[in-house]
Each structure stands twice: as structure tokens, then as C-alpha cells.
Structure 1
Amino acid sequence: MQYSVKIDAFEGPLDLLLHLINTLEIDIYDIPVSEITEQYLLYIHTMNELQLDVASEFLVMAATLLAIKSKMLLPKYEDELDDEGFEIELEQDPRDELVERLIEYRKYKEAAQDLKSLEEERSMIYTKAPSDLSDLAGSVKQDTSELNVTLYDMLGAFQKLLRRKKLQKPLPTKITKQEIPIQTRMKEILVELKTVTGRKNFFDLFPYPERGHIVVTFLAILELMKRKEIHVEQEQNFADIFVSAVKE
């Protein structure tokens, strides 16, 4: 049974690399290629397990990282002189081009966020004469909740969930496959969230150990996030993720 879910949070391989650099608190000018490549490939592997469409540009970046990693493993020599006594120009750091692309991408991304903030600020301004709204004071409650969890945070939580349930190795027993529609699982999750008071821990939404049930549940949560029917919150990096239903 194949599921196809399109997530708007994917902005490209550079966006994923910046997320990893920020999460691992890495200096962008001195990237540990081995570590960042391992983490990047882990995310790609997770996307494939969830049967999410991985664009070719993600695979190209994976090949680029592996090439840089290979070059970093080559021995480095001190400055040498040729037969005529001139200094031989050694090859530059293989990470330089990638670092330049990341810095340039980060500039555009921050500029886009600034423009979005200005747009939101401008949208709150209306050219209208003052009106008496004293009767409406206190009757309108604005929803200030903000979705502060990205798709990459959700993929990281999914990896942690698999490690907790020890599903990397095949189960020793034979299990009859049972197909579970995503729409059915979405309804079950909404009912479960609406029956609890407050929010619920992300890991508590996976009561069954079967891999198929886990994958369907995770895709159902992503689809509910996309439809803005649930709130997903995380207070800080590496903290637990909490899920709650959006009040009608």
C-alpha cells in the first residue's frame, strides 16, 4: 500500500543543510563534512522509508557531500616549489564553494523572512476612520499560537521513535499485514486529541509497535499539520514535541 503526501516545508537541500547546521550548532565556516554528511543521508533515508518523494536536487547534494568528504580524506602537503623555484598553488578547501552557497542562501532566506514580517505588519494597518469598538472589547480572543515545529523536526522525532521501539531489525514473529487508510487514522487522531485536556506528547500517539501503523500515523500527523487542524509545539531544541487539536 503506497501513500503520497506533499509537504510545503521542503525548500531544497540547502534548507536542510542549514537546519542541520543550526541544530548541531556547527560553525558554517568550518563544517565537519563527515558528521553533516551522515546526518544528511539519515534524513534522506527517513524520507525514503516514509515513501515521500525525494527531489533529484536532494540526491545531487548528497553526492556533492560525499565528494567533498572524499577530498577531505586525501593527504595534505605543505607548500611546494616547482623545478624553477616558483611556489606551487595548492588546491583550495573543497568546502569553500558549499559554504559560499549556504551563506548566500541564508541571506536570501533571512531577507524573505524580513519581507514576510513587513507584510504581516502592513496587513494589520487599515486606512479607516476611527470607530467606537468599546462594546466589542474582551469579546474577541485572538489566536496567538504559532507553529514552531518544522518538517525536519518531525523527521528527527520520527527517527527517535524508531530507535525507541527498536524497529531497525526485523521482528522475530510473523505479523499479518493490515492496511490502514490515512483518512481513518487522521479521524482517530483528531478524536483522541479532542478527548484529552490540553496537549498530548507526540510519542503517545504511537501505541502500536507495528512499522506500518507507525508510518501511517506519522503521515496522518503531517497531513493534519498541513491542513492546520492540529498544533505542534516544541519549547526548545531537543525538547519533547506536543500535539493538540485546533479549537473550532
Structure 2
Amino acid sequence: MTEMNFKVEAFEGPLDLLLHLIGKLEIDIYDIPMVEITEQYMEFVHTMQRLELDVASEYLVMAATLLAIKSKMLLPKQELELEESDFDPDFDPRDELVERLIEYKRYKEAAQELKEKEAERNFYFSKPPMDLSPYEDLDEARELNVTLEDMLGAFNKLLRRQKLHKPLHTRITTQEISIDTRMEEVLEKLATHKGKLKFEELFEERTKEQMVVTFLALLELMKRKAVSVEQADSFSDLYVEGRGEIERE
């Protein structure tokens, strides 16, 4: 028989050793050849004894169990029927051992998966909660959360609506309006309204040229702090409010 060398500390118990032997010998766990697996297991126990290592009692109990199963497997069927008072024709002396091995394997795989998740989690670092009290002023927060992307999103949404309601016949005009003129018109409308207006209400002329000029005029007014744009929640409507005269550059 080929001598086998084992590292005792690599195994957590007799079931762990048996699973190692089953994998090493490429044995079907549901059809364990008891003669071969018992010989390999006993070789391990004898190796531990030859090295004058203390053999844990659980290893000796498993050795006795394997020898008992091996003996039953070698008994003729008639003698096995006499030995078992309530003999089942489908009885297999290995069944209990197989169930224990499968259950142990399941727990071992689950433990390995948890260990891998723990190692993966070690690469993440948590940040302590931030103090958000400076942002408790809702009016200030609403003004701060309106970005250029929000403005572009609202303008694109307006363009899509205009496209859906595009008339069947259009009339081409050459009338042009400057951004400065449109800025004055927007401020005048806001002053007349004396309150906040929805973003889309500032686009009376629904031609593409007029809409673009109005949008650019609004951006310039925001830049010069002549108007404020607010949004209550993400993706909600924008509201525009006048602040007074245009700051001349």
C-alpha cells in the first residue's frame, strides 16, 4: 500500500478527514467503497500514532464506525437479515454515514462562503454620518439643488411636448429677437405676475427659435442673479421668481 502523508492540523474532525479522502480518491459520496475508505482512514490514524500524536477520541469512534459498516457490507445477505431484527430490503449500512457527510459538507460550504464574504467586506470602509444641519433651511436648499442639468432637463421636456403638439402646417417667419430684449420681457412678466411662475409659462412663443432665446435669457438672468429658480423635489416642476433689476456687467 502506498504510504500517505497527512497534516493533522488541516482537518477539523473525522468527517472533515473523510470528505478529504472522498475527494482525493474521487469517490461517489452516495456509493462509498467501505473497504478502500476504511483502509485509508485507518492509515491516517496509525500515522498519527506512529508520530506519537494524541489521537482525539472522535477519530477513534469514527474508526470503529467505519469498521462496523465495513463488516456489515461484507456479511452475506442472509446473515445481515438475521442480525437486523427489523430488516429492510433497501437497508444500506452506509446510509447514516452518508447523511452525516452530506450535512457536514453543506455546513462547511456555507462557512466558507461566509468567510469569503467577510474577506470581501474588509475592503470596504464606512464613513461616519455627516452633519446636515447647515442644510435645514428648505428655501435655501431648494435654490441650491437647481443645476444647469435640471434646467436642460426641463427645457428638453418642453421641447418634446412641443413636438407632440406640432401643427400640421407651419409658417416660416424671419422675425428675430435678441437675448437682451427677451431678458427684459421675462423680468417684466415676472414683475407683473408678482410671484413665482412655472418654468414652462415663460415660453409663450412656441417656435423653436423663440424657445431657445427664452431659455438662454433665463440662464443669463440666473447668472446675473436677477431671477431665482426653485424645485421642491427631484424631477418636479421648476418655478421662476424675479429678484429685481438686472445686474449690469
Global fold match (TM > 0.5): no
Higher RCO (CA-CA < 8 Å; seq separation 6+): 1
Which has more radius of gyration? Answer: 2
Into which bin does the TM-score normalised by the smaller protein fall?
A: 0.3 to 0.5
Query: Larger helix proportion, structure 1 or 2?
Result: 2
> Structure 1 length as normaliser, TM-score?
0.44
